[in-house]
Amino acid sequence: MASSVQTSPRIGKGVPPLRAGQGNSFFWRRLHSLSGIIPVGVFLTEHMISNFAATNGPPAYNDTVKFLTSLPALIVLEWVGIFIPILFHAGYGIYIWWRGDNNVTDYPWQGNWLYTLQRYTGIIVFAYILFHTYTMRFTGVHLATHPDQAFKKVHDELLHPWAMAIYVIGVVTASWHFGYGIFLFCAKWGIATGERARKRVRAFGIAVAILFMVLGLSSAYSFVNPKNQVPANSAASVNSSTQSGMTQAPATTDNQ
């Protein structure tokens, strides 16, 4: 006797690839997905590695900042390679989240939860970037002209418990957002097809997230517990060098 019980169709696991024929949204979603890896993800990787130089002490970190601030056309590189891509990726991501067009009901429970977590961590990361950019670029010592004071500036800020808490939250959420974003990128672009490939890419993305968390938290620890002495205040250093030059000038004239 045939059973009369009807079963609902099973929802497939995974992340649906981006499809053509969706008008302008197809282009913007592709660009949004790509921008999360290149250049935003590349910048995050570089930033984590640069900050990790703090584990070797203040001189090593200051030298890294000195190298970065000496790059040619720095303003252009920052805006084209960092600021504009981040603003677009964050802005369009918030737009997608606000419209609720994320198809979370199409996923199993685990995928639904992870995808939702991806969206909320993105909002937290964007808020942290605004805070971090303001404190590092627009307050205190100007690091482009005084890179020798870079370690001290971060050190002094992270000594405040609230600042350290914000830093830790920023590191953890940024690491997860990028790591899981690698999986979403590969799945949506059709790079990882099939359940086995997606599991491997997901595991790789989570491993990247954990690695970045370790790098970021190790850097934070090194900033507040430096290997050697933190450089003196930049203002004192500038005044000292200026006075030194003024006192040496007459001696040079006399020798001539």
The architecture of the domain spanning 24-230 is: Up-down Bundle (1.20)
25, 127, 175, 188 from 21: Cα distances, Å: 9, 34, 33, 15
- What is residue 26's predicted lDDT score, i.e. its pLDDT? 84
Give 243's pLDDT tier (boundaries 50, 70, 90): very low
The CA distance from 219 to 55, in Å, is 6
More confident of the two residues 4 and 88: 88
| Cα–Cα nearest to 28, from 104, 91, 83 | 91
Q: What percent of the chain has pLDDT over 90?
A: 62
- How does pLDDT run across 200-225, given as a tens digit for each residue? 999 999 999 999 999 999 999 999 99
The answer for residues whose C-beta is within 8 angstroms of residue 61's C-beta and 6 or more apart is 50, 51, 53, 54, 150, 151, 154
Number of H helices, E strands in the chain: 10, 0
- How does pLDDT run across 79-136, given as a tens digit for each residue? 999 999 999 999 999 998 888 655 555 555 676 778 788 989 999 999 999 999 999 9
pTM for the predicted model, two decimal places: 0.80
